[in-house]
Amino acid sequence: MQAEYAIERRRRRKRLALVVERDGSVRVLAPMHVPEDRVHAWVAAKSDWIVKQQARMRRLRRQTPLRSGAVLEVLGRGRLIQCDPLLEHQALGDDVVHLRLPEHADEHQVCEQLRRVLVAAAGRHFGARAMHYARLMRVRPSSIGIKDYRTRWGSCHADGRIFLNWRLMLAPVAVGDYVVVHELAHLRHADHSSRFWGLVGQVLPCFERDHAWLREHGIGLELA
Ligand SMILES: [Zn+2]
């Protein structure tokens, strides 16, 4: 089967590239000079890979909409979403996420509130995890913050500020810990040298498993 795709011409691009999006749509990034029939032939040769990636994206997409009564996995634990318009405080509980919303709130409203609850909870969770590992690694971050990054999981700045992506709340605890340790290790080594990875491995001997998990599942860590 031939996949449908859009060709996007890029002035600075030197080689052809394929992007399969979360919704399964396909984009081809092409340098200006490559003729269209060559682009089509190149994509045709990649059709097995495209089908495989589309299947992967299907598996990663949420099967049931996030509404009151649905279960959302947060920090590796399934939690029941409960909407209640009379609620005083929205909160992430051990087994339940309480949202101040009408019981029949639509998915869009639920995701918006969920995101607020998760960002607040991420501040507490990653603040505590970072303090724990910073002591262990004898490093001193100047602050731990939460960001809404599209394409990265964390960052470490020269002035010692560390930021974590709130979407890591949708991953198992060990995966978030790996990102925390990775960013803290940059306070010692501002690169990805063997000394850097040596430090990460000292703190988390199984970090490669969590790194691989993130590569495989990271694109699925979205609410909608
Ligand atoms: Zn890094």
Regarding whether 205 and 131 lie in a shared domain, the answer is yes
Say how many Å lie between the CA of residue 76 and the centre of ligand 1: 23
pLDDT band at 116 (very low <50, low <70, confident <90, very high): very high
- Determine the distance from the C-alpha atom of residue 217 to the mean position of all C-alpha atoms in its chain, rounded to a whole number: 8
Say how many Å lie between the CA of residue 191 and the centre of ligand 1: 7
Residue 93 has pLDDT above 80, yes or no: yes
Regarding whether 133 and 25 lie in a shared domain, the answer is no
Q: Containing domain of residue 153, as a range?
A: 71-220
pLDDT attached to residue 3: 67
Say how many Å lie between the CA of residue 19 and the centre of ligand 1: 23
Say how many Å lie between the CA of residue 183 and the centre of ligand 1: 6
Regarding whether 56 and 121 lie in a shared domain, the answer is no
Region 10-18 average pLDDT: 93
In a domain, residue 66? The reply is: no
For residue 171, what is the domain's CATH number?
A: 3.30.2010.10
DSSP β-ladder status, 77-83 and 71-74: antiparallel
Counted domains in the chain: 2
pLDDT band at 2 (very low <50, low <70, confident <90, very high): low
- Averaged pLDDT score across all residues of the chain: 94
- Nearest to 172, CA basis, from 104, 30, 83, 74: 74
Regarding whether 123 and 216 lie in a shared domain, the answer is yes
Q: What is the pLDDT of residues 21-38, one digit of tens each?
A: 888 899 999 999 999 999
Say how many Å lie between the CA of residue 82 and the centre of ligand 1: 37
